[in-house]
Structure 1
Amino acid sequence: MDFQISSVTSPSRQRKVHALAHQHITGYGSPSHVKRERATYERDLRTAFSGESVPEGDFIGTVASDSGDLIGGVIIEHCAPRPLLRSSPETGRLYAQHHRNLSGMFVVPEYQGQGIASLLLETAYQVVREQGARYIEGFVDIRHPQAVRVYKHAGFTVTPLNQGLPPREPTQFTIHHPSGINGYWFYRDLYQ
């Protein structure tokens, strides 16, 4: 089967992708939770950019079966820690320009092992590069060990359990792991 990635721009279709992500990714928030969190984040991001144009950052891509059912998806979003946006808007803007969050990726169980995750990741790399960002990063809940294996196999650096992300160029900002959730952070430098 030849799988193709489709970009999702329709709000109703985006909600459907978030609902499937919630269903297939351990720890992924409900569509209503995601919507509230994104609204707060977008407000902080616009404030940090204070009148300047916010760089492109969000992308949702999906794969459908021959019958049209969604069987996989990847969700890429702007990435800048809210405390950084609020305490140091200049550094927050720089972080937002160079980092993207892989906030969700899934393949429904009956289609796993067919190269769909690799196709989704290759598309994510291409989108992030086209946006001029350098890093793609994210977090995997400890209850989702198969995702850790996928990211390691794809060349991501995966941090030890419950350790945040190390400082990286150009901001040298460290992402600290929050208490109360167990898992692994991962990142990939697309310049290497």
Structure 2
Amino acid sequence: MLETNAISQMIGVKENYQAPDKLMELILDQSKREKLFQKFLKQENDLSFDWFRSYFQEQQADRTGAKQDFTPLSLTSLIVKLVGKDSHNTLDPASGTGGITIAKWWHDSHKPNYQPKDYYYRLEELTEAAMPFLLFNCLIRGMNAVVINGDTLTREARQVYLLHNDSSQDGFSQLDVLPHVPQVEAA
């Protein structure tokens, strides 16, 4: 498991509060993003869990104001089992840093004949502080996804990110940031 100091050092911040802005800056630049992914993968190559779970919850989560808390790992496992083995489309309406979706992706990616292009994930998250960590988690795993920074209940979106991986090989997703935020239809 990656320690808080190691994460901050790889992102390139001295103070943890700087991490979301710096991480987003790196993610938006493909070359810097892929170099960062390589750094992380040298330190940790187990993609079955959310590397940022403890880091974000300790350093960034607004547990009082936004009522941010992480789904316990036992519930995450149960949710993945309840979703079903044959589901190729996944909705995570309060994604945080992506723990539930990562568990579902891990399950999907270990199916026989897994092809990234056959699976689609839709993630929605209210807080901007979680967004860089969520994008990182989806991009490094090569997910095809739409990630919406907005309010799931009111359907108001601040930003929409499209992640695509059409490769049959394991690899990182590509990132497109929509130039304007369209009205998001209910899922």
TM-score (norm 2): 0.34
Between structures 1 and 2, the one with greater strand share: 1
TM-score (norm 1): 0.34
